Amino acid sequence: MAHRGFSFGFGLSPWVQRLIIINAVVLLLTSMMSDQLSPVLAFVPADVLRRPWTVVTYMFVHADFWHLFWNMLGLFFFGPPLEARWGSHDFLKYYLICGLGGAALSFVVAYEHSIVGASGAVYGIMLAFALNWPDAPIYIWGILPVKAKYLVGVLAMISFFSTFNGRQDGVAHAAHLGGVVAGFVYLRMSKPGGPFSGLKKMMSRRRLKVVQTDDTRTAVRTSTAAPPRRRGGTGEEEKLLNELDRVLEKISTQGMSSLTPQERKLLDEVSRRYRNN
pTM for this structure? 0.67
Backbone angles phi and psi of 118, in degrees to 5: -90, 10
CATH architecture for segment(s) 2-190:
Up-down Bundle (1.20)
Please, which residues bridge with residue 147 across strands?
137
Torsion of CA 175, 101, 70, 74, to 10 degrees: 140
Phi, psi at 221, each rounded to 5°:
-140, 165
Q: How far is 244 from 211, CA to CA, in rounded Å?
A: 12
- How far apart, in whole angstroms, are the C-alpha atoms of residue 45 and residue 51? 9
Query: Residue 23: how many CB atoms within 10 A of its CB?
Result: 20
User: Can you name the residues that pair with 212 across neighbouring β-strands?
Assistant: 218
Half-sphere CA count of 5, side-chain side, radius 13 A: 2
Q: How confident is the model at residue 168 (pLDDT cuts 50, 70, 90)?
A: low
Statement: residue 5 has pLDDT above 70: no
Q: pLDDT tens digits, residue range 40-69?
A: 999 998 888 899 999 999 999 999 999 999
Say how many C-beta atoms besides its own lie within 10 A of residue 129's C-beta.
Answer: 25
Task: Tell me which range, 20-24, 87-91, 115-119, 169-173, is most confidently predicted by mean pLDDT.
Answer: 20-24
CA distance 118 to 47: 20
Question: Does the pLDDT of residue 205 top 70, yes or no?
Answer: no
CA 272 to centroid of chain Cα atoms: 29
- The whole-number pLDDT of residue 36 equals 79
Q: How far apart are CA 9 and CA 32, in angstroms?
A: 35
CA 183 to CA 249: how far, in whole Å?
Answer: 25
Range 24-46 average pLDDT: 89
Structure-model confidence comparison of residues 208 and 115, the more confident one? 115
Per-residue model confidence (pLDDT) at position 93: 95
Computed over every residue of the chain, the mean pLDDT equals 77
Kindly indicate the confidence band of residue 228, based on its pLDDT and cuts at 50, 70 and 90: very low
The span from the CA of 175 to the CA of 182, in Å, is 10
Looking at residue 1, what is its pLDDT? 40
Residue 217 scores a pLDDT above 50: no
Mean pLDDT, to the nearest integer, of 9-26? 88
Q: What's the angle, vertex CA 204, arms to CA 275 and CA 82, rounded to 5? A: 105
Higher-pLDDT residue of 149, 229 = 149
Residue 268's pLDDT band (boundaries 50, 70, 90)?
A: confident
- Alpha carbon 241 to its chain's center: 31
User: Side chain identity at 91, as an amino acid letter?
Assistant: F
pLDDT on residue 274: 56
3-state helix, strand, coil in the chain (%, to 5): 65, 10, 30
Specify the domain boundaries for CATH 1.20.1540.10 within the chain.
2-190
User: Is a pLDDT exceeding 70 seen at residue 176?
Assistant: yes
